[in-house]
Structure 1
Amino acid sequence: MKFSVFQLSRIGGREKNEDRMGYCFTREASMFMLADGMGGHPEGEMAAQIALQTMSSRFQREAKPRLPEVAPFLSRAVKAAHQQIVRHASARAMLDTPRTTLVVALIQGGQLYWVHCGDSRLYVMRGGQLLARTRDHSYVEAQNRVGMPLKGVNRNVLFTCLGSAVRPVFDISGPLLLREGDKILLCSDGLWSCVEDKRIVLALSENPVAKAVPELVDEALKNGGAHADNVTALALEWEGSSHRADAAKDGFTQTDTMSLEGFASTIQSDDLEPTGGGLDERAIDRSIEEINQAIQRSIGRRR
């Protein structure tokens, strides 16, 4: 299994970055995640962090090195993430619970599955065309589906998320058999609300992910202006099981050289204080870079 991946997060015009992202993988399965902590509720960054750490720990425990069944795993893991957020709030007697969106892509056996809750999105591109996109759990999206007028409907209002007082609604899709060159993007609404879908598809179709992601993030920040939301994106290009001599040079992650029980993850450890604050933009970038380098060194030693 082989893929290239690039991830980037910017704070925009907000006081702090409440987005979190990362990926983890074994020799035979890989999982990519993005969560957008929701403003208007306390500790959004904590909710996003808990969601990713819960998903990652479940993946590490069950992918040995592959999951027996992918869709049931995703369902259990999302529910567990929601419960962990609620438990966090209950343990601290919080009057309101932290809340977050979540979108996850999981690849196993060359097949893509995905799950999402809220309005963080997943795009799948093939041959310059948009093959699939998640549909937001928002009132705007719901009314648009049935042809109802959208005037006066707030785009930011969601009808479900993780950490809410009611059981979250989430959609699981797949499997989709991937082809070499397919590209997958996970992003927060800070990106897709400021950059049109056709522009997202074009940028990723014409450029490597390491070039397309920074361009799209910069464009979203520019279009969003002084009050731009946090902008976070994680994109990957699927190379399947191909073996290329220049793999190390062009930044591909080669998983089939890992030991049978090997597990690697870019998910940050819980460095957040329960009362808020969180990691600043530079700390997030530094953590992502350090972890990615460590993974590449680890994989290199096994070759």
Structure 2
Amino acid sequence: MADKMTYKQAGVDIHEAAELVGDINDLRARTESSRKLLQAFGMFAASYDLSDYKEPVIVTGCDGVGTKLEVQLKYDALESAGKDLVAMSVNDIITTGGDALMFLDYIGVGKIDKSKIQRLIGGMVEYLESCNCVLAGGETAEMPGIVPDGMIELSGFCIGAVEKPDLLDPKAVTPGDVVVGFASDGFHANGWSLVRRVIEANRSEFTDEEIVSLLAPTRLYHDVVAGVRAAGVKPHAMAHITGGGLIENHERFLGDMGAELEIPYWDNDAVQKVLAHTDDEDRFNTFNMGIGWTVIVPEADAEAVCAAGPGGTVIGRITDTKGVKVRVKG
């Protein structure tokens, strides 16, 4: 009779996975300094008490890091990947005018490497602490034969809430409104299939230091949203500039309106090396082009919004003609 097999012999070590949950709990607990889960961490589902809200509207979002993750793994930038994962979902949530309350992650690996996973979660925790969002749980899946050795699957999920009267409605946008843009910290986590192709085709032009600089994590814009709130301004809309760039991310809610945008030159040497090898028009539909967040307000509020966070500047106006047009100053 053949020897009977164990789960561990099949490539999955459930005891290692259980130990990992305990190992990361101290990291995770840092995200509960202010907001806290209603019940203990580690249950089958996380719960959050919304009684502090009078008319809570739940907002949700999920995202990943895309093919940027391949470069992050190659250059051992795991903390950066964790930060990207958080920012891509949290930024989407706060475009509503609400708060990011809880975040969950999914990590798929061929074999659990506790050190690497702890570093990923360490990056997540650093960002979650800064925006007062609780790491509520997640899933680490060990899948030998499905996820190749050395690779990681990564997804993030965020749950937020907003008071119903405070929920932003892009239908409030009108021609003549001002578009205030806030600087990005790089390509963020979008357009990396093109970035990777450019670097591979022109590898001799890029130093390792330049490539690592391109891995700067997606900027969190919770400080901008808090600053806008503190100024007493309710925007007509806010946009997180991701895949599709300034054009698509505005056209999705402008309907029959449009925008004329003039953005500053993107002063980043490594970024400009990449852009030199991209199509003059396609780049505006692929990258954030140096602007990762926009706030649309009446002209009277533009100055206050520009001061709401670092890198704020007026980049254009809403028009009554359908379509968004973008050009670089100068």
TM-score after normalising by structure 2: 0.27
**Which structure is higher in RCO with an 8 Å CA cutoff and minimum separation 6?**
1
Pair member with larger Rg = 2
